[in-house]
């Protein structure tokens, strides 16, 4: 029994899931407060949608509404993808703010590259999510690819943190960016945790079916 607990993944812990969800809620509420003070209605909506879908996904899984949790997981990923697409395509590209970052030198170029990579990784993770969770037999190869994309995205967040600190943003902007990265990192950990739980349910179901078949043969 002890060996089994040692082999168990951290992501299968409900305490870990609750902690990740709590981080998302706390950082999102602080971000909402900052947005409300600055009267940034679009960002307020963006964070509200992410907070609502993430909380609903956790509660749906907690009460074992698996299909609802799967659907809401897709909703969380679309919120992340929309947030990053708006930043990369609407803010950096459309408003041509990338000129400012390129003039800033190496750290500005790193910031632009990291922002673009974060968006692309979210697209990959979102697509893989549907292949993994809505495939009848699952897809182990895509699970591995998804984990690799999430690990790469964490590396990109570290790069964004470093580039932010070197670009000389105002302290308010630095705080907003830091809160967003922490929120999104906690969200990704929550998503991996929920997907791991689903995988464990599939394994358990397969083991029960095997035992049932073996019992039938003995009779």
- Could you tell me if residue 195 is inside a domain? yes
Evaluate whether residue 7 is within a structural domain.
no
State the DSSP string of 24-67.
HHHHHHHHHHHHHHHT-HHHHHHHHHHHHHHHHHHHHHHTT-HH
Q: Is residue 23 part of a domain?
A: yes
Q: Which domain holds residue 71?
A: 12-218
Task: Tell me whether residue 5 is in a domain.
Answer: no
Nearest-angstrom CA–CA distance, 79 and 51: 9
Inside any domain, residue 90: yes
pLDDT of the residue at 203: 66
Residue 12 backbone class (left: φ over 0; alpha: ψ -120 to 50; beta: rest): alpha
pLDDT of residue 114: 92
> What does the pLDDT read at residue 5?
46
How far is the C-alpha of 111 from the C-alpha of 134, rounded, in Å? 35
Contact 159, 96 (CB under 8 A): no
| Residue 35, in any domain of the structure | yes
- Please report whether residue 3 resides in a domain: no
Q: Is 170 left (phi over 0), alpha (psi -120 to 50) or beta?
A: beta
Per-residue pLDDT of the chain (219 residues; tens, 9 = 90+): 444 444 567 788 889 999 999 999 999 999 999 888 888 788 899 999 999 999 999 999 888 777 788 888 889 999 999 999 998 988 888 877 888 888 888 888 899 999 999 999 999 998 888 877 777 666 667 778 888 888 999 999 999 988 888 887 888 888 888 999 999 999 999 988 888 887 777 666 666 667 666 666 655
Our count of domains for the chain comes to 1
Q: What global pTM score does this model have?
A: 0.83
Please indicate, yes or no, if residue 2 is contained in any of the structural domains.
no
The pLDDT value given to residue 48: 94
Residue 105's region, left for phi above 0, alpha for psi from -120 to 50, else beta, is left
């Amino acid at each position: 029994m002890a060996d089994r607990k040692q082999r168990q993944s951290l992501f299968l812990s409900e305490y870990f899931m609750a902690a990740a969800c709590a981080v998302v809620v706390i950082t999102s509420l602080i971000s909402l407060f900052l947005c409300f003070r600055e009267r940034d209605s679009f960002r307020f909506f963006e964070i509200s949608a992410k907070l609502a879908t993430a909380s609903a996904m956790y509660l749906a899984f907690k009460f074992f509404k698996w299909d609802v949790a799967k659907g809401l997981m897709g909703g969380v990923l679309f919120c992340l993808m929309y947030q990053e697409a708006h930043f990369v395509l609407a803010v950096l590209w459309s408003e041509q703010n990338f000129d400012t970052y390129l003039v800033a030198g190496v750290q500005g170029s790193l910031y632009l590259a990291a922002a673009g990579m974060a968006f692309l990784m979210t697209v990959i993770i979102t697509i893989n999510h549907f292949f993994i969770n809505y495939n009848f037999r699952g897809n182990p190869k895509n699970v591995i690819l998804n984990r690799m994309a999430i690990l790469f995205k964490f590396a990109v967040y570290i790069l964004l943190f470093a580039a932010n600190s070197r670009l000389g943003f105002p302290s308010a902007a630095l705080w907003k960016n830091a809160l967003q990265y922490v929120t999104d990192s906690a969200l990704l950990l929550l998503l991996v945790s929920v997907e791991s739980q689903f995988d464990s349910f599939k394994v358990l179901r397969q083991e029960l079916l095997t035992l049932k078949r073996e019992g039938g043969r003995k009779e």
